[in-house]
Amino acid sequence: MTDVMADPRDPRPLIGEPLALDLLNTRWAGTPVNDLLSGADGYGIWLSSVGLSGRCAADEAGLAATLKAREVLGAAVQSLGENGELGESARAGLDRVLAHGRIRRTAGPGGAEDRIEVNRPEWLSAWLAVDDFLGLVGQGAHRVRQCAHEACILHFFDASQNGRRRWCRMAVCGNRAKAARHYVKARG
C-alpha cells in the first residue's frame, strides 16, 4: 500500500496498513464504535484509500461481500491471538471467501503473470483482503497484532526489526499508556 494515497475524506485514525488489516481498521474506537463501512459511500472512500476504486464498484453487493470478509478476518485475528495459529473455524471462514476467486497464471511477454479472477465482481475486494491476510500470516503470524491500548481496537502488522511494536500509533496510544502509568506513579 506504499504507493497509494489515502482518500482525503477517510476519517480513520490509522490508514495504510496492509489491505487485510486496513479492512479491519474500518472500525475504530468510539461510543458507539465508528464504522466507515456503514454504507456504500464509506465503502467507496475505503476503496479509494486502498487503491481499489478503479477495480471495484462501490455498491451494496461489494459492501456486503467486504463486510463478510471483515467478519472472517476479525475471527482469524482473534484465533491467532488466542492460539498463535489459525484454528479450524477461522481457516474455514477464510476459505469460504477465497472460494469466490482464484489466481490464474498466464504467460505474459515478460514471463509468468498472475491474474486474479473472481466468480462475481463484488467479491474482488473481499478476496484480495483475505489473500493479503494469508500473505501476512506467511510472513509471521505473531506480527499480526491488535494495539495494546485497552481502549483501541485497531490492528497493525509489526514490521519492526525486533518485532516488539505494541501500539497502532506510538504518538497516540503509546503516549496515552505512558501518561496513565506516569499518573498512577505520581499519585502513588
136 close to 21: Cβ distance less than 8 angstroms:
yes
Q: What is the pLDDT of residues 121-170, one digit of tens each?
A: 999 999 999 999 999 999 999 999 999 998 999 999 999 999 899 999 87
The predicted structure's pLDDT at residue 88: 98
Cell digits of residue 78: 482473534
What is the torsion angle, in degrees rounded to the nearest 10, for the CA atoms of residue 71, residue 39, residue 10 and residue 138? 20
Segment holding 27, helix H or strand E: strand 27-28
Alpha helices in 99-172 (DSSP H): 124-140
Domains of the chain, start order: 19-138 (1.10.3300.10)
**CB-neighbour burial class of residue 112 (10 A; exposed 0-12, middle 13-18, buried 19+):** exposed
Q: Is the omega angle on the peptide bond into residue 32 within 30 degrees of 0, that is, cis? A: yes
pTM of the model: 0.90
